[in-house]
Every structure is written in C-alpha cells, then in structure tokens.
Amino acid sequence: MAGPGPDALRRRGVTEPVAVRVFLVDDQQLVRAGFRMVVDSQPDMDVVGEADNGDEALHALSVTAADVVLMDVRMPVLDGVEATRRLRSRADPPKVVVLTTFDLDEYVYTAIKAGASGFLLKDAQPPTLLDAIRSVHSGDAVMAPSTTKRLLERFATQLPDRAASAPAGWDGLTEREREIMLEVARGHSNVEIAESLHVTEATVKTHIGRILAKTGLRDRVQLVVRAYETGLVRPGPNGQSGRE
C-alpha cells in the first residue's frame, strides 16, 4: 500500500526534508554528467547548477543558492583552490568538497587551507560521494583516513608556515584531548579512536568538539592540517605520527 502523499503529510504537520542543493564544478563535461546522475538519483539531493571553471562557478553562485559545491582542483581560467578561497570569503557561503586525483594531493592541502570542508578522490564510489555530501551539509568534514594519512605524510615536510604559532587554546587541552588530537592527526576515524582508547564513539565526538572550541578551528580537517604545520605532530618512522 502506498504511503500518505505530500498533502496528507502537511495536514498532519509533517514536513518533508529539504533537498541538499549541490553545485558541480569541473572542466570535464562527462565527469559532471556522471556526478549529476549520481546526485540526482537521490530523493534528498538536487543538482542546482554546473560550471566548467572556477570563475564561471563564482558568477553562477552569486545568483544560484547552493548548500554543497563539488569543486575540481585543476581547471582553466580560475582553479578550484582560488575559487574555493573566494567563495568561502562570501557571507553565508556553501560548503566545498574538493575533488582530485592522488597526483594532485598538494592542491588538496591548499584547498583545505582555503576553506574547503574536505576532499574526495575522483574515483570514489557513488555511496562514498553521497555520504560525503550529506556529512558536509550537516556540518561535518570529509576526510578519508587512509588518504589523509598518505597526503600528510607525503607533504608534511613541504607545508608552509612551519614556524606559525600554535592556535589559541592549544596549550589549554587536557591530556585526553591531546591524545585524541594526535589520533585524529594520524588519520584515524572516530570509531578507530574509540576502540583504541576504550571509550565510546560519542565520547570521542564530545572531546573533538571541545578541542575545536578551544582552538577556534573549524573542523577536524583544519585540526589535522594545523597539527602538522605547527610541528605539534610530524610524520614518524613506518608511517607513524608523533609529537615534536
């Protein structure tokens, strides 16, 4: 039997979920078509526009409301890093998820510094892409632990601002918060951290929230980047991170 229709739900005071508005930015039309097909297949998402370079995206997003932007990195006219920086400087900007290949990981780092909420490889499976859009829209950050670990260990010695001071509140972290901060910087997920420290996932989330509040950082992406660039965490032997 079919469920109640939209009118019946409204009469009962039940509101339908608002679809996540997704904007696609990539200079390859076939790539955009693939993303559009995946996103539009979901009842809670709508593709509201497309652009084939950063400049075109900025103009379009001046008149088109979007919640999440899937942003390619290397594009003609204006690349995804600069487009992300300019977009995130606007009032009430959309969240940005950077799309790249492993060979362009250095661009991912600069895009995150520019304000992106995370990144995905272009060959990510559709469920991963959809989960990332929903996570970013809900205020979380997108970080694939294994990819993050490779990224940071590969480029940590090249990071800019190595002499930058630690963010305000860093010294105010408790021992447990520092412990969890190190686990996050190693690219471990909340579930992995909970299992390692023998606490619940909810406890880990609570601690991460306190860490972000004390340091003034936006999300766990910024937390990882700042931990490496300030030298509080560095790549160690055999792919392990450690304190300076």
At residue 28, the pLDDT reads: 93
At residue 13, the pLDDT reads: 54
**Which range is least confidently modeled, 27-36, 70-79, 170-179, 230-239?**
230-239
Q: Is residue 66 a contact partner of residue 45, using CB atoms and an 8 Å limit?
A: no
Range 161-174 average pLDDT: 61
Q: Which residues of 155-184 are buried (b: 16+ CB within 10 A; e: fewer)?
A: ebeebeeeeeeebeebeebeeebeebbbbb
What is the residue-wise DSSP string for 174-208? -HHHHHHHHHHHTT--HHHHHHHHT--HHHHHHHH
96 or 16, which is more confident:
96
At residue 242, the pLDDT reads: 42
Q: Where does the pLDDT of residue 234 fall: very low under 50, low under 70, confident under 90, or very high at 90 and above?
A: low
Range 154-169 average pLDDT: 50
Q: Which residue has 């539009």 as its token pair? A: 40
- The amino acid present at 201, given as its one-letter code, is E
172 or 41, which is more confident:
41
Please give the mean pLDDT across all residues of the chain.
Answer: 78
Percent of the chain topping pLDDT 70: 71
**Is 154 a residue whose pLDDT tops 70?**
no
At residue 244, the pLDDT reads: 38
Q: Where does the pLDDT of residue 243 fall: very low under 50, low under 70, confident under 90, or very high at 90 and above?
A: very low
- Per-residue model confidence as pLDDT tens digits over 99-129: 887 555 566 667 777 888 877 888 888 988 9
153 or 50, which is more confident:
50
At residue 163, the pLDDT reads: 45
